Amino acid sequence: MPGFELFGDLERKEVNEVLDTGVLMRYGFDAMRKDRWKAREMEAALADRMQTEHAQLVSSGTAALTIALASAGVGAGDEVIMPCFTFVASFESILALGAIPVLVDIDDTLTLDPDAVEKAITPNTKVIMPVHMCGSMADLNALRMICDKHGLLLLEDACQAIGGSYKGKPLGSIGDLGCFSFDYVKTITCGEGGAIITNNPEYKKNADHYSDHGHDHIGKDRGAETHPFLGYNFRISELNAAVGLAQLARLDEFLAIQKRNYTKIREAITDIPGVTFRRVPEGGEENYSFLSFFLEDFETAKAVQKALDESGVDGCMHWLDNNWHYIKKWEHLKNKTSLGKLPQEVIEKLPDYHQADFSASDHWMGRTLSLLIKIGWSEEELQSRAEKIRAVVQGVMA
């Protein structure tokens, strides 16, 4: 991770085919585009790769989450249960629809704790949204059973986990809907982009329309299309889709490199006393984009991170005080701060996250370090990195 490390001839070929036509928009201009439809091609390839019936490309992972929720009818006052360790886009997408993000604890998978999910369900709950952070998944069997028991939707935020699997199925394909991000630092990239996958034809149709101002895309004349419902502009461009199409074709190549590099670094620290690793649910395989491990306590984790940074090992994340990914620093959510005034219903129903108890999650976040796994390392760089990480961790913990 990420795919931009290995841009090459295939990416250039796909982009040049778009530039050759001059048609950068995914819709219309049929006579000019020489029958080249990169977004359509990537949607077909992604659906096939993810073993689903439908895929819809959009402008970002955030857009994908927003559109997925909207396509399933989630709106004002509906509650969506999500983890307190994620990216801010998870709750942004919920709030954008006037729905209520209900944040709950994680467990040693670093993802949704099923027991915490069960306790958070109310009559207003409509969706459970696990976020497969750092390349690995929640206990999806348990979450699926909870959804079936309560008649809820399961929406997988797999934005950081493309290529991972659970019980033989690709992550993102297990829920009613799945979402991916293809931004510049994901395992594969469009530069900017995202996608929704589903087996539900109604959700696919809704996502297709909603992401393009509500256009129904019926007939060849774009000007004659009707608008069954309101939508917004979440379109991807043909240039972005062209890059993604090439990168998707290389996904297995990238995953193999990630797994090799991940394994080398994990083996370097696996026998150090006091080092343990995040739990991957039985039957799951992560996509190896991060190596996440636990140390004995908060102080040790911070000391190891500091020592790694000082030794020149970049890409080491300690999440407890991270601005982007953990609730402790989400003051805008806690204070209900927005440039546009939040609906009164949202203000009234949004939990008081200043007072919420996430000590169970703090226990895991305080002890966790995640090492970014790059795919552009040479053999020499990988060997040197593994040796340096081992020496630093051992030195701090001696």
Four-point Cα dihedral 374, 191, 15, 59, nearest 10: 140
Rounded Cα–Cα distance for residues 231 and 235 (Å): 11
SS3 label, residue 52: coil
- 186 noted as active-site residue: yes
Nearest CA among 277, 318, 278 for reference residue 301: 318
163: region left, alpha or beta (phi > 0 left; psi from -120 to 50 alpha):
left
Nearest CA among 209, 217, 216 for reference residue 233: 209
Rounded Cα–Cα distance for residues 83 and 353 (Å): 13
Rounded Cα–Cα distance for residues 308 and 370 (Å): 12
Rounded Cα–Cα distance for residues 276 and 3 (Å): 28
Nearest CA among 140, 169, 134, 159 for reference residue 49: 169
147 contact partners, CB below 8 Å, separation of at least 6:
128, 153, 154
φ, ψ (nearest 5 deg) of residue 104: -135, 170
Rounded Cα–Cα distance for residues 16 and 255 (Å): 26
Name the active-site residue from 186, 204, 302, 374.
186
Order the strands of the 165-166 sheet from edge to edge: 169-170, 165-166, 284-285
**What residues are paired with 372 via a beta bridge?**
290
Q: Is the dihedral of CA 187, 188, 194, 198 positive or negative?
A: negative
SS3 label, residue 301: helix
Environment class of residue 336 by beta-carbon count within 10 Å: exposed (0-12), middle (13-18) or buried (19+)? middle
Locate all alpha helices (DSSP H) within the chain, ordered by sequence: 9-21, 38-49, 61-71, 89-96, 114-120, 140-150, 201-210, 238-249, 251-269, 298-310, 331-334, 344-349, 359-365, 379-397
Catalytic annotation, residues: 186
